[in-house]
Every structure is written in C-alpha cells, then in structure tokens.
C-alpha cells in the first residue's frame, strides 16, 4: 500500500511528488487506518484560480484532485504527514 | 472514487468570436494609446497636453468602469469620493505572522517610512513599481484602472513556497529556505501577481488550457516589464527571467522561467529540468497545473521576447503597448486560444503602428517562429513590383 501526493501549479509551476510506502513506515497500522478514514468520495470540483497549488492524491483505488483551499482538516493532515515522512 | 476535473486541455476547440461589447475607442477622438503617449511626456513644453491627456484617460477609464467593468470576484476596496490624485499609489502591507489567515496585521500604509522587515519593504516597493509602470506607460490607474487600493500580505503560512493574487490582494510566502527564499525578493514575481488582477478586470482569460497559459504569459510579460522599467533596462540589457533570486543557492538554476529561452531557467537534482516549451512543437498536454498553464506559457512568452528583440529599445514601449492594448481593448474572449491571441496582437500592431510596418511585421514573425501561425515567406511586406510587360509594336501597353 502506498500513497502519492503530487503538488502542481503555484506561481513557480514546479511539480513536486512525495510518496509513502505504508509497509516501510514504523507505524504501518496507524497509516492504513488513517488512509482508510479519509473522505475520498466527498471531494467536489472547484474553480481554478491563478497560481494556487493543486494536489493530486493517489492511494489505490482512490485518486482525488484538491485545490489548495480544499486542503483542510484530514487532507491537510495527510499532506503534512506525507511530506514529513519524506523529510520536508 | 472522485474523478479529477475534466480538463479542457489545450482549449483547442474554442473559436474566436468577437466580443459584442462596444469598443471604448469609438467614443473618443484621440485613441487611448495616443493619450497614453501624451500623458507620459515629460518634456515641459508638452506639460499641458500631458495633463489634459491624463485627465482624459482618467475619464475614459471611469467610463469603462461604468459600462462594463465586470468584477468576477467581489472586492471590498471600492472607495468613496476621493481625496486622491489619479495615478498615486495607495498601498497597504499586512503581516500574516506565519498563519494562513488574511489579511493579517497591518504593518505599513502608503507614505509610511521603510521598516526593518525586508519582505514588507520589498512588497511595498514592488507594488509601487507595478503601479508606476501601468500608470506612466499605459495610463492605467491600478489593477482595476480606477485606483483600486493595492493590498498585500507578507509572511503567509509556514515555509510557504508560493505567491498569489486571491482576487483582492497579493499574498507572499517566505519559502521553505531549502528550495525557495521569500517570494517578495523578485520584482517580476510581484508584477506577475498584480497582473493577474489586471487580467481579471479586463480580458478575464479562463485559467485552463491555452487561455490559462495566455493568462500566465500576460502576467510574466508585465512582470518582466515592471522589473525592466524599475531597473531602466532595455531589451538587450534585461535578463528576461521571471523570479530571479527566488531559488536558494542550493538549487541549480537562475529563476523560475526564462522568456528569452524557455526551458533553460533551471536544471536541478530535486526540481528536474525547466519543462517549458519554446514552440508549439513542444506543447505539453497534461491534466496537472490546469492543463500546464505554467508550462505552455513559455510559447507566448517567447513570442513577446522575439517582438521586443526585433524592435529593440525598451520593451515597455511598442511591444508593451501592443500587448496592453490587446489585453484591455475588448477583442479577446475569455476563452481565446494562442491563435486568437496571435491574431489579436497582429491586429493591434497594425492598428497602432501601421499595417505592414516594423511592429506588425515583428509580431507576425514572432508567432510564426514559435509555431502558433504558419511560417511566413521572407521578406513579408515588400513584394518586388512585377516587371513591366515587354512592349511590342502595335500592342497597347496597359495604363501606368
Ligand atoms: Zn501566475
């Protein structure tokens, strides 16, 4: 099981991707529980606005695209955890 | 599973339809571009004409506001009756203190002296440089053309790697310190973000596919012009880089983008290579970044550079005027694609500087070089006159 967060856009237009392999984490069960608890099916489309980030989050079978203002609550938590696991 | 947005990548299905809005040029005797030229004359002999032209431009912009000015986003900056001289900056800088809440604490208002925080000072100066370019060169008073106060927030978020225009204000992050330093450091980035506001109030190009890449490119064009104008650099002297100085010295790269040579701004282990194409042959089809708006903008960016390079001198003069009049003149639809934009800039150049003149020629050639329009035979305007038919006795010659 793995989760991939890809951030595109921003005024720099540079895409950065962070990946976490759940099995390789010190706390794989916590990760799996957390990933299963995310509101994957509740994401709605949002209008594009200049220079904001867009986040594509993949965790098979799920894939969502979130505009930056939508990255709140558990999604925010996910992005922070995935980045932290990648050391940035 | 939630599907990703249906991206209209490329925006190629759009056709150009002329906007039905009445062109403002029809109701004034002196066309706006000429008023702009008059309004910026510094020679004291023309002081009166310049003052009159400024007043006329002001009226005109107010009329434009009354007529059409659609405000795609609500904004709270509308002022009541003015004690303000048109063209004067009205800046307010706020400090988010590392939070993601706007606007933050007010730290510097118009006319207050510089403090010790570089981000605040750079934002204040960059807003001033942007207002200065648009007012003195194009007769545009602030983002909306009607003196909208310019508001900015610095120190937004923690290690926030971005700057943006949120529909009402500029927002600047401090960067993460590893890849990016603070986003106020580059005048071209400040000009870029404010120009998103100008576009919002004018052509309002949809931020997706080709119209989105045009929206991005216009921000780069005027961002570069803000920087060149404040540094008084000609086309030959300028770097044509967007976001120079934004990378830390740990990054192999000079800037976010190069308008002169798209695709060459960085080549780094972490960031990869600058992915911008410089011709249509490299056009990037992607669902990310709203259809690659920050990538494909390299194509129209280079077209602008090629026009400036062909004409020489200061890019904010003839090339800037052609782009500014195209953006604000009402001929663009919000869904205009590269071909429509190329045609509109060529029309503007012909109208302002003469059909078949050097500016018109430079614009046509630039769009051909980047592959947006078909290559044009060289030389363009001067077809050699056909040789006169041989005269034979008894055959009447056509009248000369
Ligand atoms: Zn932008």
- Give the pLDDT confidence of B297-351 residue by residue, as tens digits: 999 999 999 999 999 999 999 999 999 999 999 999 999 999 999 999 999 999 9
Task: Measure CB to CB from residue A9 to each of B5, B189, B290 and give the nearest one.
Answer: B290
Per-residue pLDDT, averaged over A58-80, amounts to 95
Please indicate whether, in this complex, the C-beta atoms of A45 and B166 are within 8 angstroms of each other: no
Residues of chain B with pLDDT under 50: 1-49, 52, 55-56, 58-74, 391-400
Distance from CA of A8 to the nearest CA of B (A): 5
Tell me what pLDDT residue B381 has: 52
- Rounded Cα gap, residues B361 and B275, in angstroms: 29
Tell me what pLDDT residue B78 has: 53
Tell me what pLDDT residue B45 has: 43
Tell me what pLDDT residue A47 has: 84
Tell me what pLDDT residue A46 has: 84
The answer to which of A20-24, A68-72, B34-38, B283-287 has the lowest mean pLDDT is B34-38
Domain containing B282 equals: 27-69+90-370
Instruction: For residue B366, give the 3-state DSSP assignment.
Output: helix
Beta carbons of B365 and B310 less than 8 angstroms apart: yes
- Residue A58: in which H helix or E strand, if any? strand A53-59
- Rounded Cα gap, residues B268 and B252, in angstroms: 5
pLDDT in tens, B119-137: 999 999 999 999 999 999 9
Active site (catalytic) residues of B: 193, 294
Longest dimension (CA), chain A: 39
Task: Measure CB to CB from residue A10 to each of B162, B178, B271 and give the nearest one.
Answer: B162
The C-alpha angle with vertex A59 and arms to A54 and A63, in degrees rounded to 5, equals 45
Distance from residue A17's CA to the centre of ligand 1 (Å): 21
Q: B175, B172, B159, B164: which is closest to B246 by C-alpha?
A: B175
Distance from CA of A84 to the nearest CA of B (A): 13
Confidence grade of residue A87 (pLDDT, cut at 50, 70, 90): confident
CB contacts, 8 Å: B192 with chain A: 11
The CATH number linked to B203 is 1.10.390.10
Distance from CA of B102 to the nearest CA of A (A): 13
Beta carbons of B228 and B220 less than 8 angstroms apart: no
H-type alpha helices, chain A: 28-37, 73-85
Averaged pLDDT score across all residues of chain A: 94
Closest alpha carbon within chain B to A10: B162
Number of compact structural domains in chain B: 1
Kindly list the domain boundaries of chain A, sorted by start residue.
1-84
Please indicate whether, in this complex, the C-beta atoms of B294 and A88 are within 8 angstroms of each other: no
Please indicate whether, in this complex, the C-beta atoms of A63 and B196 are within 8 angstroms of each other: no
pLDDT in tens, B359-369: 999 999 999 99
Q: Which residues surround ligand 1, an ion (CB under 5 A)?
A: A 50-51; B 219
CB contacts, 8 Å: A88 with chain B: 176, 178
Please indicate whether, in this complex, the C-beta atoms of A51 and B164 are within 8 angstroms of each other: yes
Distance from residue A77's CA to the centre of ligand 1 (Å): 27
Q: Is residue B320 part of a domain?
A: yes
**Percent composition of chain A: helix, strand, coil (DSSP 3-state, to 5):** 35, 30, 35
Beta carbons of B260 and B268 less than 8 angstroms apart: no
Tokens found for residue B153: 């927030």
In this prediction the ipTM stands at: 0.91
**How far from each other are the two terminal CA atoms of chain B, in whole angstroms?**
76
Please indicate whether, in this complex, the C-beta atoms of A10 and B161 are within 8 angstroms of each other: yes
Please indicate whether, in this complex, the C-beta atoms of A63 and B1 are within 8 angstroms of each other: yes
Distance from residue B192's CA to the centre of ligand 1 (Å): 6
Tell me what pLDDT residue B50 has: 52
Tell me what pLDDT residue B84 has: 82
């Amino acid at each position: 099981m793995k989760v991939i967060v890809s951030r595109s856009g921003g005024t720099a237009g540079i895409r950065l991707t962070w990946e976490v392999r759940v099995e390789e984490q010190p706390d794989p069960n916590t990760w799996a529980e957390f990933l299963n608890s995310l509101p994957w099916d509740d994401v709605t489309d949002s209008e594009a606005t200049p220079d904001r980030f867009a986040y594509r989050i993949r965790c098979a079978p799920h894939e969502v695209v979130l505009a930056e203002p939508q990255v709140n609550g558990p999604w925010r938590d996910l992005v922070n955890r995935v980045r932290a696991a990648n050391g940035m | 599973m939630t599907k990703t947005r249906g991206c209209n990548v490329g925006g190629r299905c759009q056709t150009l339809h002329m906007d039905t809005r009445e062109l403002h040029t029809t109701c004034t005797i002196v066309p706006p571009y000429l008023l702009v030229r008059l309004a910026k004359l510094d020679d004291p002999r023309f002081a009166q004409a310049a003052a009159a032209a400024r007043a006329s431009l002001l009226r005109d912009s107010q009329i434009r506001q009354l007529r059409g000015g659609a405000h795609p986003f609500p904004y709270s900056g509308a002022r009541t009756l003015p004690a303000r001289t048109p063209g004067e900056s009205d800046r307010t800088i706020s400090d988010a203190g590392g939070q993601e809440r706007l606007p933050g604490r007010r730290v510097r208002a118009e006319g207050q002296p510089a403090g010790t925080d570089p981000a605040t000072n750079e934002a204040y100066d960059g807003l001033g440089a942007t207002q200065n370019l648009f007012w003195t060169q194009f007769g545009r008073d602030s983002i909306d053309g009607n003196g909208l106060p310019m508001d900015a927030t610095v120190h937004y978020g923690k290690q926030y790697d971005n700057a943006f225009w949120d529909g009402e204000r500029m927002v600047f992050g401090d960067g993460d310190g590893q890849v990016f330093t603070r986003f106020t450091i580059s005048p071209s980035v400040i000009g870029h973000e404010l120009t998103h506001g100008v576009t919002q109030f004018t052509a309002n190009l949809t931020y997706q596919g080709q119209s989105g890449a045009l929206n991005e490119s216009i921000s780069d064009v005027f961002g570069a012009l803000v920087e060149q104008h404040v540094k008084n650099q000609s086309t030959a002297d300028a770097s044509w880089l967007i976001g120079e100085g934004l990378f830390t010295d740990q990054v192999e790269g000079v800037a976010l983008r190069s308008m002169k040579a798209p695709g060459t701004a960085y080549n780094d282990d972490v960031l990869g290579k600058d992915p911008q194409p410089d011709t249509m042959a490299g056009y990037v089809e992607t669902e990310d970044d709203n259809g690659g708006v920050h990538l494909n903008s390299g194509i129209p960016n280079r077209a602008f550079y090629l026009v400036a390079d062909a004409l020489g001198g200061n890019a904010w003069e003839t090339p800037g005027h052609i782009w500014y009049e195209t953006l604000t003149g009402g001929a663009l639809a919000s869904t205009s694609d590269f071909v429509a934009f190329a045609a509109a800039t060529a029309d503007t150049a012909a109208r302002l500087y003469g059909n078949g003149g050097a500016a018109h020629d430079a614009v046509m050639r630039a769009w051909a070089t980047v592959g947006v329009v078909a290559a044009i035979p060289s030389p363009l305007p001067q077809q050699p006159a056909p040789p006169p038919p041989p005269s034979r006795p008894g055959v009447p010659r056509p009248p000369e």
